[in-house]
Amino acid sequence: MSYNSTSPWRLFTAISIGLLAAAALTSGQTQRKVTKLADGVYEIQHTDVGGGNTTVIIGERQVFVVDTCFLPSAALQDIAQIRQWTDKPVSFVLNTHFHNDHNVGNRAYMDAFPALTIIAHAQTKKEMDLFGPGSYRRETKTNDVIRQLLATGKTQDLAYFDARNLTLTDDDKKSLKDALPRRLAFAEELKNLKFQSATLSFDHDFSIDLGDREVQVKFLGRGNTGGDAVVYLPKEKIVVAGDLVVYPLPYVLDGYPSEWTQTLQNLSQLDADAIVPGHGPILHDKTYLFLLRDLMKSAVDQMNAKLRDSFPAMFQTLDDVKGAVDLTSFRPRFAGNDKDLASGFDDMAAKLIKVVFEEASLR
Ligand SMILES: [Zn+2]
């Protein structure tokens, strides 16, 4: 997920779904921002449509890349940039989770470095195998829905949207209209792409020595998805968190909030000076990690209290219980005085409560 302070939050978050690169709906140009984290360690932030953050870790022999972003053209730009930094080959890619804004670029890396090994948690590989090849179809479908919305103000395909009673304002329509030509161009990029999934999967922790550079790969528990991988550089004290941490608001729709709290706690135990989120700027302390942890815990605790005092989730609907979970005290902590961000927070909070209830329904 990517957030743009000028975006109409309600609309974009309503349209975005877990498998869709929602960033593609915002209306800026493709932008990249490169930050040097240490000698030979760089973060490439795809600040708009390119996808999630990419981290490049260069050792004496080999290069390790965390996440390959969304648009193949953006991945090719990143590869060109890596070749300016080093003549060592990219030997490893790690996909932090299955959302396609972190792995559609895999193909470009495999084509550029044929000896490449692409690593993912076993659960992530399973979900990438399932959903990765459908990216073009989903983009096309979304564009059809946007056309329908622009023409009629509504869509028959309501199941595709999270907000079933979406009413478009004039601003919403303008944003969609502005975004459509670029979205069509993205779809065109994906049209003939053969999706490249992971080639090596893991369950627990392991580490790789790239030549005077140790890279630890960890599974710290479920959170944003069922197979979130974290990369840790112990010497450099750098953590690459994937979408376990998305700034300035979490993306929650495929998440496991009841476990996410503990996973963030585990993450915070790593001795780190820099935390690279899945989207957004590099974090230099753990304040935001703790804020996310507290948000998840509060949502789960309030839901559990309600269920304990009434009936188990299986006997109730979301409408019966959602009023018992109040997350508004977190709004200023995430959004400050930013009105768009505040509205984005409210939308995210509603989704979080839904996911917490669904999780409780499985118990
Ligand atoms: Zn993402």
pLDDT digits (tens, 9 = 90+) for 68-109: 999 999 999 999 999 999 999 999 999 999 999 999 999 999
How far away, in angstroms, is 97 Cα from ligand 1 center? Answer: 8
How far away, in angstroms, is 77 Cα from ligand 1 center? Answer: 19
Which pLDDT score, from 0 to 100, does residue 8 have?
37
Q: How far is CA 278 from CA 53, 56, 102, 164, 231, in A?
A: 6, 14, 8, 28, 12
Q: Please, which pLDDT band fits residue 156 given cuts at 50, 70 and 90?
A: low
How far away, in angstroms, is 102 Cα from ligand 1 center? Answer: 6
HSE-up of 260 (CA within 13 Å, CB side)? Answer: 35
How far away, in angstroms, is 203 Cα from ligand 1 center? Answer: 21
Rounded CA gap, 288 and 286, in Å? 6
Element holding 355 (H helix, E strand): helix 339-361
Which pLDDT score, from 0 to 100, does residue 20 have?
37
How far away, in angstroms, is 120 Cα from ligand 1 center? Answer: 15
Q: What is the CA radius of gyration of the chain?
A: 20
Which pLDDT score, from 0 to 100, does residue 219 have?
98
Element holding 353 (H helix, E strand): helix 339-361
Which pTM value belongs to this model? 0.90
Q: How far is CA 24 from CA 143, 175, 224, 307, in A?
A: 11, 12, 20, 38
The number of residues in the chain equals 363
Q: In what order do the strands lie in the sheet with 90-94?
A: 32-38, 41-46, 54-58, 63-66, 90-94, 117-121, 200-202
Nearest one of 65, 64, 30 to 48, comparing CA atoms: 30
For every residue of 106-141, DSSP letters joined together read: HHHHHHH-TT-EEEEEHHHHHHHHHHGGGHHHHHHH
- Residue 207: strand pairing partners: 216
pLDDT digits (tens, 9 = 90+) for 260-273: 999 999 999 999 99
How far away, in angstroms, is 223 Cα from ligand 1 center? Answer: 13
How far away, in angstroms, is 51 Cα from ligand 1 center? Answer: 7
Residue 68 phi, psi dihedral angles, 5° rounding: -115, 15
Tokens of 73: 């053209």
Which pLDDT score, from 0 to 100, does residue 15 have?
43
Q: Please, which pLDDT band fits residue 292 given cuts at 50, 70 and 90?
A: very high
Q: Within a 10 A sphere around the Cβ of 289, how many other Cβ atoms?
A: 21
Q: Please, which pLDDT band fits residue 154 given cuts at 50, 70 and 90?
A: confident
How far away, in angstroms, is 168 Cα from ligand 1 center? Answer: 26
pLDDT digits (tens, 9 = 90+) for 178-195: 888 988 988 999 999 999
- Residue carrying the six token digits 């690593």: 119
Rounded CA gap, 241 and 277, in Å? 5
Which pLDDT score, from 0 to 100, does residue 169 have?
78
Tokens of 44: 């490439």
Query: Under a CB-based contact definition with an 8 Å cutoff, are residues 238 and 245 in contact?
Result: no
Q: Within a 10 A sphere around the Cβ of 191, how many other Cβ atoms?
A: 10
How far away, in angstroms, is 271 Cα from ligand 1 center? Answer: 24
Rounded CA gap, 253 and 223, in Å? 11
pLDDT digits (tens, 9 = 90+) for 6-46: 333 344 444 443 333 333 333 334 578 999 999 999 999 99
How far away, in angstroms, is 16 Cα from ligand 1 center? Answer: 11
The residue-averaged pLDDT of 282-289 equals 98
Single-letter code of the amino acid located at 1? M
Close Cβ partners of 327 (under 8 Å, ≥ 6 residues apart) = 295, 298, 299, 349, 352, 353
Q: Please, which pLDDT band fits residue 149 given cuts at 50, 70 and 90?
A: confident
Rounded CA gap, 328 and 330, in Å? 5
How far away, in angstroms, is 212 Cα from ligand 1 center? Answer: 30
For every residue of 292-316, DSSP letters joined together read: HHHHHHHHHHHHHHHHHHS--GGG-
Nearest one of 279, 209, 212, 288 to 240, comparing CA atoms: 279
How far away, in angstroms, is 105 Cα from ligand 1 center? Answer: 13
How far away, in angstroms, is 205 Cα from ligand 1 center? Answer: 22
How far away, in angstroms, is 152 Cα from ligand 1 center? Answer: 30
How far away, in angstroms, is 26 Cα from ligand 1 center? Answer: 14
Q: Is 47 helix (H, G, I), strand (E, B) or coil?
A: coil
HSE-up of 317 (CA within 13 Å, CB side)? Answer: 2
Rounded CA gap, 1 and 283, in Å? 17
The residue-averaged pLDDT of 314-338 equals 96
How far away, in angstroms, is 188 Cα from ligand 1 center? Answer: 21
How far away, in angstroms, is 275 Cα from ligand 1 center? Answer: 15
How far away, in angstroms, is 100 Cα from ligand 1 center? Answer: 8
Mean pLDDT, the chain, rounded, equals 89
Rounded CA gap, 190 and 70, in Å? 10
pLDDT digits (tens, 9 = 90+) for 202-228: 999 999 999 999 999 999 999 999 999
